[in-house]
């Protein structure tokens, strides 16, 4: 986008997804580049059309069998990123399941790796990248769940002038 616009973007590192959301609400951060729409986020972000779709995977230890549906985990502990769009969806659609909030990707994967939780729901590309980077050879994608997500760019409502520009860039 910076190349197409000829304008530099300044990346701001945050400590957590929660902090990223707070900064977008306050207008400290103008753009969140990889977000899914949720009802809560609509209050402080406008969204571009989707630019990428992904499936949600079930990450487990290597010794767990393939999981074909999320209901197979009705009696098991499953971690999900706190504040993620996956969390919002599964709490509503699978109220009988035991879902445990985790503070981030690293925490979720480490809890599965150590056996503190049995599985972790996360976007497959994100999971496979982090499993490799963290050297967690005892983990695998044990299956996919019936959740399909679309990534969009979220623009802080504090910067409404950016919405049409970023939307055009997504389509370019």
Complete DSSP assignment for 33-88:
EEE---HHHHTTEEEPPP-EEEEEEEEEETTSPP--SGGGGTTSEEEEETT-HHHH
What would the pLDDT profile of 47-95 be if each residue is shown by its tens digit?
999 998 888 899 999 988 777 777 666 677 889 988 788 887 887 877 7
User: Full-prediction pTM beyond 0.85?
Assistant: no
pLDDT digits (tens, 9 = 90+) for 28-51: 999 998 898 988 899 999 999 999
pLDDT (tens digit, 9 = 90+) per residue, 102-125?
Answer: 988 999 999 999 999 999 999 888
% of residues, the chain, pLDDT over 70: 96
- Average pLDDT taken over every residue of the chain: 88
Check whether 7 has a pLDDT greater than 90.
no
């Amino acid at each position: 986008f910076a190349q197409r616009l000829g304008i530099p973007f300044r990346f701001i590192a945050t400590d957590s997804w929660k902090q990223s959301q707070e900064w977008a609400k306050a207008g400290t951060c103008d753009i969140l580049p990889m977000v899914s729409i949720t009802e809560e986020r609509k209050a402080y972000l406008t969204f571009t059309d989707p630019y990428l779709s992904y499936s949600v995977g079930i990450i487990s230890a290597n010794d767990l069998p393939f999981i074909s549906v999320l209901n197979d985990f009705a009696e098991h502990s499953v971690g999900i990123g706190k504040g993620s769009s996956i969390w919002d969806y599964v709490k509503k659609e699978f109220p009988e399941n035991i879902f445990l909030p985790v503070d981030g990707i690293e925490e979720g994967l480490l809890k599965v790796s150590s056996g503190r939780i049995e599985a972790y729901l996360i976007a497959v590309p994100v999971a496979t990248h982090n499993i490799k980077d963290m050297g967690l050879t005892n983990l695998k994608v044990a299956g996919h769940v019936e959740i399909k997500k679309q990534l969009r760019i979220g623009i802080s409502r504090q910067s409404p002038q950016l919405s049409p520009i970023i939307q055009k860039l997504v389509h370019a």
